[in-house]
Amino acid sequence: MKSWNSNLTAGASILTIFAALSLGPVVMATTHLGHPPLTDLNLTNIAPFTNSEHILGTDAMGRDLFSMLAWGALGSLSVALVASFTSVFVGNLFGSLSALLGGFVDNIMMRLVDCLLAIPPVILLLTLSTFLTAPEFTAKLPLFLCSLLSVSASSDGLLPLFTVTVAIAATTWLESARVARSRVLSIKTEEYCTAALALGDSNLQLLRRHLLPALVTTAVVEATLLVSDAIIMESGLSFLGLGLGPQTPSWGSMLRDAQVSLIQGNWWGALAPGLAIVLTVISIHLIGQGFLELRSAKVHGHIHGVGLKAR
């Protein structure tokens, strides 16, 4: 076996580039220079590689595409990462609780998950994000959120980040809840769990000490693969106008802006964020693939279709 997994390396390096790109805005934000690129109506629709100041060109509103991409990377990646890890955590917690409680409660909890799974994800996502972005809800939230994060009330851009993240997490936790439930049901019968129960552990102690640690490995792989779905979901949501706004640009909202300027012949404005999404999602698949290969080269070798021929 090679000491370096080529899929993992390739995926990780692509992702690192985008992560580095998104660090730019973070650094700027901490030095109080940070705001998304401003519109400059004198410089609209500059084609890429023609202007030394704007290497990737500008969009229909005269914003530099490269810095927009960097800000978009920050928005998209942070939403996707936080949303997927939250959703996998919630899903695992829900699933293992359901398996532990058993009986009637388990039945109800799982039927609830089944019901929500029957609603197509984007439909659920739309409803949830309309719920979260309605003024009745958001008017109360900023104060609470600001006091929670101890940031100044001027950072309004945080609000859409929060709502989009919650909406995506609330849509995607269902699958992992099911997986976690079936895993816990099988782990629970293993001897060390029986031993722990015999030693007087309560269900909650069992969950904390033995079950959740046992779930961590699969959960991390699950979350990594979910990041790609979350990125695509976020872009769709922003495209429909329910996602991130101009204060916190994302690749999805760049695509929405680009749809308008496409008519003006500005194809690069649509191409760049789309390619960024494609590359990121591919890199995440490669990383997930690499993980699986490292874990068990034979069985899972080609679950996601790339690489290794398990023979």
Partner 1 sequence: MLSLIVRRALSAVPMLFLLSIVSFCLIRALPGDPVDVMLGSAQKEIAPEQLSMLRAEFGLDKSPESQYWLWLKGWFYQGKASASNIQGNQQNQINQADLKKSTALGLSYRDGRPVKDVIIERLPATLALVGLALVISFASGMALGAALACLSLLSERDGPLAVWAARAETAAVTLTLAVYSAPNFWMAFIAIAIIARSAFLAPLPILGLHAPGEDATALGVLGHLILPALLLSARRTAKIALFIRSLAIDEIGREYVLTALAKGLSMGQVIVRHVLGNCLLPIVNLAGLSLPGLISGSVLIETVFCLPGMGRLMFESTLGRNYPVLMGLFMLYGTVVVISNLLADIASTCLDPRLKEAN
**Closest to 87 in 3D by CA, of 204, 230, 228:** 230
Kindly identify the residues of this chain, within the stretch 274-293, that bind partner 1 according to CB under 8 A: 274, 277-282, 285
Query: Of the ranges 34-42, 79-87, 197-205, 262-270, which one interacts with partner 1 (CB under 8 A)?
Result: 262-270
Burial tier of 126 (Cβ tally within 10 Å: 0-12, 13-18, 19+): middle
Q: Contact 236/277 with Cβ under 8 angstroms? A: no
* Phi-psi map region of 48: left, alpha, beta (phi>0 left; psi -120 to 50 alpha): beta
Minimum distance from residue 8 beta carbon to partner 1 (Å):
15
Structure tokens at 111: 């039927």
Pick one of 239, 287, 290, 293: the residue that binds partner 1 (CB under 8 A).
239
Pick one of 121, 141, 142, 145: the residue that binds partner 1 (CB under 8 A).
121
Q: What are residue 59's phi and psi, to 5 degrees? A: -95, -170
How long a stretch of residues is the chain?
311
Question: Hey, which residues does 64 pair with through a beta bridge?
Answer: 58
Q: What angle do CA 224, 286, 68 make, to 5 degrees?
A: 75
In the block, residue with structure tokens 């960097």: 70
Structure tokens at 198: 């015999």
* Phi-psi map region of 179: left, alpha, beta (phi>0 left; psi -120 to 50 alpha): alpha
Pick one of 26, 137, 192, 194: the residue that binds partner 1 (CB under 8 A).
137
Cβ-based nearer residue to partner 1, 66 or 239: 239
Minimum distance from residue 226 beta carbon to partner 1 (Å):
14
Report how far residue 163's alpha carbon sits from residue 158's, in angstroms, rounded to the nearest whole number: 9
Minimum distance from residue 44 beta carbon to partner 1 (Å):
18
Pick one of 5, 86, 96, 228: the residue that binds partner 1 (CB under 8 A).
228
Minimum distance from residue 132 beta carbon to partner 1 (Å):
9
Query: Of the ranges 81-89, 144-152, 194-202, 251-259, which one interacts with partner 1 (CB under 8 A)?
Result: 251-259
Q: Does 305 bind partner 1 (CB under 8 A)?
A: yes
Cα diameter, the chain: 75
Cβ-based nearer residue to partner 1, 81 or 193: 81
Minimum distance from residue 147 beta carbon to partner 1 (Å):
21
Query: Of the ranges 33-41, 93-101, 117-125, 153-161, which one interacts with partner 1 (CB under 8 A)?
Result: 117-125
Contact set with partner 1 (CB under 8 A)? 111-112, 114-123, 126-127, 130-131, 134-137, 228, 232, 235-236, 239-240, 252, 255, 258-259, 262, 265, 267, 270-271, 274, 277-282, 285, 302-306, 309-311
